[in-house]
Amino acid sequence: MKSKFPLVALIGKYQTLASGSSSASSRSVLEDIADFLHVQGCEVVFEQDTAHNMGISGYRVLEVQSIGEQCSLGLVVGGDGTMLGIGRQLARFGVPLIGINQGRLGFITDIPLGTFRATLAPMLHGKFEEDHRSLIHARVMRDGHCVYDALAMNDVVVNRAATSGMVELRVEVDGHFVANQRADGLIIATPTGSTAYSLSAGGPILHPSIPGWVLVPIAPHTLSNRPIVLANATEIAIEVVAGRDASASFDTQSLASLLHGDRIVVTHSEHHVRFLHPKGWSYFDTLRQKLHWNEGVA
């Protein structure tokens, strides 16, 4: 049977695919997956950095933009961090992504490596569930000018340096003043990011279908400053009022140093990330497995 995805890009976490794994074993994993895809009727290309850093040859190599323009599917081998990085870059092209998990947790890379053959085979021939995830568009504004522009799939975090005291942040929603918060920082998380840093800071889990964000203070000075869920159609602005060495991070993968008076303006991105999951996949199955719900229940 002909594959629904004629041209598939393989993207790997080439630094270390699995804890303690060697580059040789990691390369072997990717080559095994490439061979399997070929048997399924797919032409395989490798993402440029993955091929170069893993020493993979014998396959066509494309940079990320070309993958977006030419490929019908991206197959990401690694952990959630690998998926976050490539998901942001490919979102504007609408290329669907499948994640094979070699990380520890795997909320968005949900296919175990050991079952990839049995799981992928029906997916490549059209039997899958599709799941769309929203993105945050964030800008750092300084004296009326944008000095940093980024997308985030998980979260935007404004916080203090490890050796500094609290920061004071002015929060506005759609131009309306909300509060000045003194805290270690503030998280704006998407539903995808609600199971990441936001969850550890006391925020709620948001189902991916909810068009919202959660605003979570990190160790607030006033304990009545609690997480709040907002519609993602709003514009959130966070201004640095006081505190030393503040910074903004985007999915913990890019960082902007902040000055007093800087404003981090967050809006809903026009792009979204397309994930494909095995037929019968459920978000609640993922939560139950990854968060160890139901353990010890007879």
Res. 15 pLDDT band, cuts 50 70 90? low
Among 55, 82, 84, 86, residue whose Cα is nearest residue 73: 86
Q: For the chain, what is the total number of helices (H) and then of strands (E)? A: 7, 18
Domain boundary among 126, 143, 171: 126
Contacts of 110 (CB under 8 A, 6+ apart): 99, 101, 277, 281, 286
Asked if residue 73 and residue 159 are part of one domain, the reply reads no
* Radius of gyration, CA atoms only, the chain: 20
Task: Please provide the DSSP assignment of 272-289 as one string.
Answer: EEEEEEETT--HHHHHHH
- Rounded CA-CA distance 119/36 in Å is 12
- Rounded CA-CA distance 159/168 in Å is 10
Quote the distance between the C-alpha of residue 229 and its chain's center: 19
CATH of the domain at 170: 2.60.200.30
CATH of the domain at 27: 3.40.50.10330
Among 11, 267, 275, residue whose Cα is nearest residue 151: 267
The domain containing residue 109 runs over which residues? 7-126
Predicted confidence (pLDDT) at residue 157 exceeds the cutoff of 60 = yes
pLDDT tens readout for residues 92-137? 999 999 999 986 668 999 899 999 999 999 999 999 999 999 999 9
Q: Could you list the active site residues?
A: 80
Output the average pLDDT for the chain.
92
Q: How far is CA 126 from CA 38, 120, 170, in A?
A: 16, 10, 48
pTM: 0.91
Domain boundary among 107, 126, 145: 126
- The pLDDT score that the predictor gives to residue 61 is 97
Quote the distance between the C-alpha of residue 197 and its chain's center: 12
pLDDT tens readout for residues 24-52? 678 899 999 999 999 999 999 999 999 99
pLDDT tens readout for residues 215-267? 999 999 998 999 999 999 999 999 999 998 999 999 999 999 999 999 999 99
Q: Is residue 180, in this structure, part of any structural domain at all? A: yes
